[in-house]
Amino acid sequence: GAVVSQHPSRVICKSGTSVKIECRSLDFQATTMFWYRQFPKQSLMLMATSNEGSKATYEQGVEKDKFLINHASLTLSTLTVTSAHPEDSSFYICSASSLGQGDYGYTFGSGTRLTVV
Amino acid sequence: AQKITQTQPGMFVQEKEAVTLDCTYDTSDPSYGLFWYKQPSSGEMIFLIYQGSYDQQNATEGRYSLNFQKARKSANLVISASQLGDSAMYFCAMREQTNFGNEKLTFGTGTRLTIIP
């Protein structure tokens, strides 16, 4: 079946540094990538949607200069948290979409737990 | 306005019993899709079952079935013969169109299911 590999699974970084999270679709071409954030004991909140080769579209309230998304190829999308602060500590998870692939079109990565100290 | 509502924050069920997790949704689109995901403590999102708005029959996948009542806008998940490994967070989600022509998943707040031996 369709697989999305997300790395790293866990990262601890110092306040003020940047962190990059990668999502790769291993056996299919992801035309669209969704990035979600999940705070403890809460639901998944969509941060942004990116189509390959286009600029990402961000949900209301999400700072595009802080959360940089790159979707340069059909198999790779990255989320960079710039100048991270403790309030950015969260679980980040990607979901790749391609019609005819995955579970009715959506395949999730395994998530990245970010802790900013 | 909340588009996906899960009214049960937590449920405790005896092993081997059946359990129903509630989900109601709100949309004016005639075409939509409803999903259920399981999220264990490790964080990954495990796809369980899908129901399309035009599907005439309720979806079933092994021990999982979806009680789809379109007029009431409800899509409850039924797990038969519950097992200890079913203990997890369960999310209902709806696929909907965005203003930018994409389709995205919107999640409910989740239900934490605990199976008691």
Mutation choice for B interface testing from A44, A93, A101 by most B CBs within 10 A: A44
Contact at 8 Å (CB) between B75 and A65?
no
Cα–Cα distance between B116 and B86 in angstroms, integer? Answer: 10
- At B23, is the pLDDT very low, low, confident or very high (cuts 50, 70, 90)? very high
Q: Do B44 and A111 touch (CB under 8 A)?
A: yes
CA distances in angstroms from A6 to A17, A43, A87, B24, listed in the order given: 20, 19, 22, 31
What is the CA angle B60-B61-B62, rounded to 5?
Answer: 115
Q: Do A44 and B107 touch (CB under 8 A)?
A: yes
The whole-number pLDDT of residue A99 equals 64
More confident site: B49 or A55: B49
CA distances in angstroms from B35 to A11, B12, B60, listed in the order given: 30, 22, 12
B residues 15-54 lying closer than 8 A (beta carbon) to A: 33, 35, 37, 42-45, 47, 50
CA distances in angstroms from B80 to A111, B38, B83, listed in the order given: 29, 15, 9
Under 8 Å CB-to-CB from B51, ≥6 apart: which residues? B33, B34, B58, B59, B66, B68, B75
Residue of B43, B95, B107 with shortest CB distance to A91: B43
Residue of B33, B45, B110 with shortest CB distance to A93: B45
What is the CA angle A36-A51-A7, rounded to 5?
Answer: 45
Q: What is the DSSP-derived secondary structure letter of residue B2?
A: -
Among A31-45, A66-80, A100-114, B58-72, which is the least confidently predicted range?
A: A100-114
Query: Within 10 A of A49 (CB to CB), how many other CB atoms are there?
Result: 23
Residues of B in contact with A91 (CB under 8 A): 43
Contact at 8 Å (CB) between B104 and A45?
no
- At A98, is the pLDDT very low, low, confident or very high (cuts 50, 70, 90)? confident
- At B69, is the pLDDT very low, low, confident or very high (cuts 50, 70, 90)? very high
Query: Within 10 A of A74 (CB to CB), how many other CB atoms are there?
Result: 16
- At B6, is the pLDDT very low, low, confident or very high (cuts 50, 70, 90)? very high
